[in-house]
Amino acid sequence: MSWSPVLFLFLLLGIGLIARNYSLVFSAGVLLLVKAVGLDTKIFPHLQAKGINWGVTVITISVLVPVASGSIGFKELGESLRSPYAWIALGSGIAVALIAKNGLVLLADDPHLTAALVFGTIIAVSLFKGVAVGPLIGAGIAYMCMRFIELFK
């Protein structure tokens, strides 16, 4: 067994504790526990293949709770669309979804970029109190920047 991944996870655990980023602490701790009990070869491939989709599903459920609880309905949606900020939010939601779609394309075509994207997300989460939804959006932004640079080649 290589100790490099374990040391890296402990480093991330420490960074998470110092930065008080408990999502990072929890994530690194769960992965260390899975490795410690020897289930990493069975669980990690599934997490790597489906984890982002599961995470997006959990975030979507969380966002839809006000709809399910009845605190946001058609009336509130109609009233909110009278605000220019709501239209900005609507456009932003569409843009982010399209950017993330391109991120999936980039990660599928250039998987070696995943390490840099993950490291950028770790830096943002641990040092700037960011939220770890960055790899897909980061990949999408990278994809857009790469296509922009290709225009001038």
Task: Tell me if 140 sits within 8 A of 102, measured CB to CB.
Answer: yes
Distance CA 139, CA 142 (A): 5
* Mean pLDDT, residues 110-128: 76
Distance CA 139, CA 133 (A): 11
Residue 135 confidence (pLDDT): 65
| Residues 134-143: tens digit of each pLDDT | 666 777 888 8
Pure H helices in 1-133 = 4-19, 22-36, 40-69, 74-80, 84-109, 114-128
* Mean pLDDT, residues 106-133: 75
Distances (CA, A) of 100 to 84, 108, 110, 137, 143: 24, 12, 15, 5, 10
Residue 37 confidence (pLDDT): 95
Confidence check: pLDDT of 36 > 90? yes
Quote the pTM value: 0.66
Residue-averaged pLDDT of the chain: 83
Residue 10 confidence (pLDDT): 93
According to the per-residue pLDDT averaged within each range, which of 34-43, 69-78, 105-114, 138-147 is highest? 34-43
Predicted confidence band of residue 66 (pLDDT cuts 50, 70, 90) = very high
Distance CA 100, CA 106 (A): 10
| Residues 5-24: tens digit of each pLDDT | 999 899 888 888 887 778 88
Distance CA 77, CA 46 (A): 37
Residue 134 confidence (pLDDT): 61
